[in-house]
Amino acid sequence: MVEEVAVVTSTRALDVLIVDDDDADALMIEEALETAAVPPHVHRVADGAQALEYLRREGVYAGVQRPDLILLDLNMPRMGGREVLAEIREDAELTAIPVVVLTTSNAVPDIVGSYSGHASAYITKPMELDAFEAVVQQINRFYGSVASLPSTA
């Protein structure tokens, strides 16, 4: 006799950090996340240097809570996504935070380099608005209700 086991997932509002220099893309991500059943708390920085200041709680970011999830663009001014990913993975206090690379590039070196740098996932931003929103919502659903995150362990 096979017993049925109920699987319970707890959906909670994530703290998400968007690291993207493109205002339009960041706004589309934010709007897609706002429509979630459990909308996350969204924060945004426009480049990699700001991302590291935010994550390390330096300067104007001294009182912020560390995010549960980082959505990281690759191509940004001052410090690009590859460098940010490397810094995060080398920092013992940050390394466990999932980093999803969400970028326009579908170049093999970018994909391989991101996974080699221990990105949690690599997603090429869809060009069509509905597909873009669906992808962002799937990321939120997965990390908000399916995945076990270090911040909840």
DSSP secondary structure, the chain, as one string: -PPP----------EEEEE-S-HHHHHHHHHHHHTSSSPPEEEEESSHHHHHHHHTT-GGGTTPPPPSEEEE-S--SSS-HHHHHHHHHH-TTTTTS-EEEEES---HHHHHHHHHTT-SEEEEPPSSHHHHHHHHHHHHHIIIIIS--GGG-
Number of domain units in the chain: 1
Mean pLDDT of all residues in the chain? 90
Question: Where residue 25 sits, what CATH number does that domain have?
Answer: 3.40.50.2300
pLDDT at 145: 87
Residue 8: inside a domain: no
Residue 1: inside a domain: no
- Distance CA(34)–CA(151), nearest Å, equals 21
pLDDT band at 13 (very low <50, low <70, confident <90, very high): confident
Question: Has residue 136 got a pLDDT over 80?
Answer: yes
Residue 125: inside a domain: yes
Cβ neighbourhood burial of 74 (10 Å; 0-12, 13-18, 19+) = buried
Residue 151: inside a domain: no
Residue 139: inside a domain: yes
List pLDDT tens digits, range 92-120. Answer: 999 999 999 999 999 999 999 999 999 99
Give me the domain span that covers residue 51.
15-146
Which one-letter amino acid corresponds to residue 78? R
Residue 35: inside a domain: yes
State phi, psi for 41 to the nearest 5 degrees: -85, 120
> What pTM does this model have?
0.90
Tell which wins on pLDDT, 151 or 55: 55
pLDDT at 6: 35
Residue 74: inside a domain: yes
State phi, psi for 9 to the nearest 5 degrees: -110, 140
List pLDDT tens digits, range 19-59. Answer: 999 999 999 999 999 988 889 999 999 999 999 999 999 99
Residue 53: inside a domain: yes
What are the Cα distances from residue 20, in Å, to 12, 37, 75, 153? 24, 24, 8, 28
Question: Has residue 137 got a pLDDT over 90?
Answer: yes
